[in-house]
Amino acid sequence: MSGRFFGAAVTRVEDARLLTGTGHYVDDIELPGMLHAAFVRASFAHGRVRGIKKDDALAMPGVVAIYTMDDFADIAQGPMPPMAPHPLLKTPITYHPLANSEVRHVGEAIAIVLANSRANAEDAAAAVMLDVEYLPAVSDVATAHGANSPAAHSQHASNIAATMKAGFGDCAKVFAQADHVLTERFDIHRGGCHAMECRGVVANIDLLTNALTISTSSQSPYMVRRHLAAYLNRDENDIRVMTPDVGGGFGPKANVYAEEFAAAMSAIKIRRPVKWIEDRQEHFVATTQQRGQIWSIEVAFNNDGHMRAIRGHCIHDNGAYAPYGLILPATAIASFPGPYALEALDLTVDVVLTNLVPTSPVRGACRPNVAFLLERLADRVARHLGMDRQDVRQRSFVKAEQMPYTTGLKARDGSPISYDSGDYGGALNLVLDKIAAEDFEARREEAKQRGKLRGLGIASCVEDTGLGPFEGASIRVTPAGKVIVATGASSQGQGHRTAFAQIAADALGVELEDVTVETADTAKFPLGISTIASRIAVTAGSSVQLAADKVRTKAITFASHQLEVGEHDLELEGGAVRVKGIPDMKIKLSEIARALAGSTGVPLPDNMEPDLAATAYFNSNALTFAYGANACEVEVDPETGDVRVVRYVVVHDCGKLINPLIVDGQIRGGVVHGIGNALFERMIYDEEGQPLTTTYGDYFLPMASEMPPIEIHHIETPSPRNPIGVKGAGEGGTIPAAACVISAVEDALGPNGPFIPTHPVSPQQIVQWLQTER
Amino acid sequence: MTERSLTFTLNGQKHEAKADPRIHLGDFLRHSLGLTGTHIGCEHGVCGACTVIVDGVPVRSCLMLAVQIDGCIVETVESLGKPGNLSPLQHAFAANHGLQCGFCTPGMLMTLEAFLRATPTPTEDDVRIAISGNICRCTGYQGIVQAALDTAAAKANPT
């Protein structure tokens, strides 16, 4: 693909609004008669609510209503529908919109207060009295996995909600044949996600038709509609869900949340608009979190560094509920074997419930965890054999000539997973070249003179992108000659409007400013899945191309008839269909659109279908596989344990780039997210399940002063699996980053330092390691 | 609670308004005055999304009470350029992809606006420290830093 816009680093059409304070986020919505909601949330991790006393709160200024689950009995009852049912989950483990007696984590919503202002609603929420029978809570996932643990859900004897198994090959045989076997235990800590905009929802009810309109800060507006419709026993057609500007998503906003249901049911009951805006304290205790897993791994390898087989057992912390089914642990399994051409794999993942906030995909889902395991293992093997880290990888990677490469694992539909294209060894060589790895020892020595320990880290990854089944797009040319693109794919800052406009403008020969892209409004496009899993460029991008091609064909057919010129002699340029070589002989798209919009009693020419418009759904069931190789350098201060990432280089292949500016932005932001995981972000709970890090003074996010410039080099291997040759780019920055930084820290600590099987690593931990070493 | 009367200058215009003493400046701007460009990210003074300029100094509007602006000069993101006529800093943000979701952007812009007035020729480290109290989860900061450097360079060396 190439054209005037496809592939060009054009600035974004979104920016002017967002830069001038004229964006439109959910908290910017004001409706007449709107009530403000605050939730009464659990201050305890596990207990049974025996009674709720709300009289005092109801008498407070501005308070209009306080609802508990019982108050919604005439609207709907029971637990929320599971977003992703899984046969291993015998019963869905989902929230009630408001807690139904048993409460299972600090922050679970118990009642909703409606008032004339948020401040008054919060005052009243604090005055609602609960009578609670406290139950034993479990916050540590290893404890929860054991036989003598308190039950996270009192009705289940075991906290193991499901056990997932996968693998291929004959592990026993390969382990018996291999020259070496190593065993390691990895502990990847739980963190938050923290889009800068918290969640929020405005629910409104039409008093004449009872139709519901929901504006929500969501990655999955169509899932909100589907599940809310099922829960309320309504037709989807009676519920409109849309996303205004969304201030970042990164995964957690892909869930359908209890608060969305509670706000909708409140609006139905009170017959007024209801707004709930999550504050940051709530975000720490009520928005899903990330990554907590403990892995025991064995790796079998040969004297030459060739990694041959892996056996692994995972204790996966799913928190108190499984709103997104088993999608996170399933992604962990699907992320194997990464770039490694293993002969055998044997994985078991125990999905464990704790009395903590649920976990669900956060940028990369479990792919960063698995990249951490595999890359740390490759470093471990190199250290064991006294080899270069890159040599272990080059001996063990899938080779470019093996593409397409069938990994041995099966996709959800049972079909074999196969990598479509790529050169993992080439990417690693390129990144080592770009960071000048051959001169690294001189830089290490120079840092030593300054009293700093400098280390070089490397990490590679493969990422399945473009998850099916589809995102669709429709394109319509209006009689004014404007091109309207509509898609169900919601946006949280990825620049979809720009990227889709680039594709459509090229196909239709118009300018970017002639294209308007409308995203994620169920009234404007009928179907949508979710903006997750680096899938929108592949799914929606391809659909925009296919729909634009159909519109183009239709315009050419019309013009051919009108101009009496063969179709192959026509082209789309300057907003018109014109005869090649005779630019004055043309029909404007606006004229074609007007003609195809019909006039009373006038037949359409040549029996054409009305409307210069088309809809397409690209079938994206075959995954495309992006990949990358990262290298970074850190400097450790041996006195304070402070780690500075001083250089970071990315080599990345996400196929054809629609807009390099946007792709680079995705990768840079993703890398910084991974650096945060490696060095800063740790969500801490006490033994009773009380969160201890609920402000940004306690929970550290990466800041500009600590982040390095990030250098990016693209390899563009077009994916053969979609019409525009793209692969996803949203998560490829994050996936290897924590592994890369920890690899560098370990290298900085030297050959006598520890093997580091965990993140984040704290300065205290580093000082401790260095003291032990001495 | 009894509302207090306030007189202040907002984005170059004299204003008189009433404010509940408990309301912080961010909520007052957004919900009482309808200036929704200022965003509220954490309400405990760390994320910087709500930064506005008061009497020439960047402040966290979530940590300042509305009644404290009586007699003050307040500038918000709405005082910068308009969609068809961006300010040099806003333009540099777009050119360097210094924003994605746009939620932290108004706070970043106002922090840098105040910073560049005081520090017209900053180094990259200066800029990174200047925005070290503003969290961006999308961009990795690089485009923002470059936008500030480009704006300063263009002002120092007009072509």
In chain A, the domains with their CATH numbers are: 15-22+468-617 (3.30.365.10), 139-413 (3.30.365.10)
DSSP 3-state of A435: coil
Matching fold, domains B4-79 and B88-156: no
Contact by Cβ (8 Å): A97, A49: no
Q: Do B102 and A20 touch (CB under 8 A)?
A: no
Q: Do A668 and B143 touch (CB under 8 A)?
A: yes
For B88-156, which CATH class? Answer: mainly alpha
Give the start-to-end residue ranges of the domains of chain B: 4-79, 88-156
> Residue A415: what pLDDT?
87
Q: What does the pLDDT look like over A21-80, one tens digit per residue? A: 999 999 999 999 999 999 999 999 999 999 999 999 999 999 999 999 999 999 999 999
Q: Please check whether residue A301 touches B, CB under 8 A.
A: no
Best of A19, A199, A253, A664 to mutate (most B CBs within 10 Å, chain B): A19
User: DSSP character for A11?
Assistant: P
Spatial separation of the C-alpha atoms in residues A518 and A485, rounded to whole Å: 6
Spatial separation of the C-alpha atoms in residues A561 and B87, rounded to whole Å: 49
Partners of A493 on chain B (C-beta within 8 Å) are 99-103, 138
Q: Please check whether residue A701 touches B, CB under 8 A.
A: yes
> Residue B1: what pLDDT?
61
| Residue in the block written with tokens 């159909």 | A550
Q: What does the pLDDT look like over A265-295, one tens digit per residue? A: 999 999 999 999 999 999 999 999 999 999 9
Residue range A317-321: average pLDDT?
98
Contact by Cβ (8 Å): B15, B79: no
Q: Please check whether residue A597 touches B, CB under 8 A.
A: no
**What angle in degrees, to the nearest 10, is found between the helix axes of A737-749 and A367-385?**
30
Residue range A125-149: average pLDDT?
98
Q: Please check whether residue A202 touches B, CB under 8 A.
A: no
User: At residue A515, does pLDDT exceed 50?
Assistant: yes
Nearest to A279 among B38, B39, B43 (CB): B43
Residue A449 burial (10 A CB sphere; 0-12, 13-18, 19+): exposed
Q: What does the pLDDT look like over A153-205, one tens digit per residue? A: 999 999 999 999 999 999 999 999 999 999 999 999 999 999 999 999 999 99
User: At residue A1, does pLDDT exceed 70?
Assistant: no
Rounded to 5 degrees, φ, ψ at B143 are -65, -35
Q: Please check whether residue A495 touches B, CB under 8 A.
A: yes
For B4-79, which CATH class? Answer: alpha beta
Spatial separation of the C-alpha atoms in residues A247 and A199, rounded to whole Å: 9
Nearest to A196 among B37, B47, B83 (CB): B47
Q: What does the pLDDT look like over B35-61, one tens digit per residue? A: 999 999 999 999 999 999 999 999 999
Task: Name the β-bridge partners of A578.
Answer: A571, A586
Residue range A344-372: average pLDDT?
98
> Residue A774: what pLDDT?
64
Give me the residues of A, 211-250, that contact B with CB < 8 A: 245-248, 250
Spatial separation of the C-alpha atoms in residues A219 and A250, rounded to whole Å: 9
Partners of B41 on chain A (C-beta within 8 Å) are 196-198, 280
Residue range A379-401: average pLDDT?
98
Spatial separation of the C-alpha atoms in residues A279 and A570, rounded to whole Å: 56
Helix segments in A636-733, DSSP class H = 660-679
Partners of A17 on chain B (C-beta within 8 Å) are 83, 102
Nearest to A709 among B81, B133, B142 (CB): B142
Q: What does the pLDDT look like over A95-131, one tens digit per residue? A: 999 998 999 999 999 999 999 999 999 999 999 999 9
Q: Which residue of B has its CA nearest to A284?
A: B42
Q: How far is B75 from chain A (nearest CA, A)?
A: 12
Instruction: Kindly indicate whether the ipTM for this predicted assembly is greater than 0.95, answering yes or no.
Output: yes
Rounded percentage of chain A residues whose pLDDT exceeds 70: 100
Q: Which two tokens stand for residue A299?
A: 């790796």
Q: Do A668 and B140 touch (CB under 8 A)?
A: yes
Partners of B78 on chain A (C-beta within 8 Å) are 20-21
Q: Which residue of A has its CA nearest to B49?
A: A196
Partners of B95 on chain A (C-beta within 8 Å) are 11
Spatial separation of the C-alpha atoms in residues A691 and A189, rounded to whole Å: 14
Nearest to B37 among A11, A21, A197 (CB): A21
- Averaged pLDDT score across all residues of chain A: 97
Q: What does the pLDDT look like over A688-701, one tens digit per residue? A: 999 999 999 999 99
Partners of A246 on chain B (C-beta within 8 Å) are 101
> Residue A413: what pLDDT?
79
Q: Do A11 and B97 touch (CB under 8 A)?
A: yes
Nearest to A537 by CA among A566, A498, A591: A498
Count helices and strands in chain B by DSSP H and E runs = 5, 5
> Residue A92: what pLDDT?
85
Query: To 5 degrees, how large is the angle CA B45–CA B51–CA B54?
Result: 110
Residue range A745-765: average pLDDT?
97
User: At residue B97, does pLDDT exceed 50?
Assistant: yes
Q: How far is B79 from chain A (nearest CA, A)?
A: 9
Q: Please check whether residue B61 touches A, CB under 8 A.
A: no
User: At residue A738, does pLDDT exceed 50?
Assistant: yes
Q: Please check whether residue B93 touches A, CB under 8 A.
A: yes
Q: What does the pLDDT look like over A537-586, one tens digit per residue? A: 999 999 999 999 999 999 999 999 999 999 999 999 999 999 999 999 99
> Residue A265: what pLDDT?
98
DSSP 3-state of A55: helix
**What Cα–Cα distance (Å) separates residue A447 from each residue in A363, A389, A630, A632?**
33, 22, 21, 15
Contact by Cβ (8 Å): A22, A98: no
Q: Please check whether residue A660 touches B, CB under 8 A.
A: no
Nearest to A710 among B43, B102, B142 (CB): B142
Q: What does the pLDDT look like over A193-242, one tens digit per residue? A: 999 999 999 999 999 999 999 999 999 999 999 999 999 999 999 999 99
Q: Please check whether residue B107 touches A, CB under 8 A.
A: no
User: At residue A2, does pLDDT exceed 60?
Assistant: no
> Residue A607: what pLDDT?
83
Q: Please check whether residue A493 touches B, CB under 8 A.
A: yes
Q: How far is A517 from chain B (nearest CA, A)?
A: 16
Radius of gyration of chain B (CA): 16
End-to-end alpha-carbon separation of chain B, Å?
Answer: 56
Chain A and chain B share a number of CB contacts under 8 A equal to: 181
DSSP 3-state of A229: helix
User: DSSP character for A338?
Assistant: T
Partners of A669 on chain B (C-beta within 8 Å) are 100, 136-140
Partners of B44 on chain A (C-beta within 8 Å) are 280, 695-697
Q: What does the pLDDT look like over B101-157, one tens digit per residue? A: 999 999 999 999 999 999 999 999 999 999 999 999 999 999 999 999 999 999 999
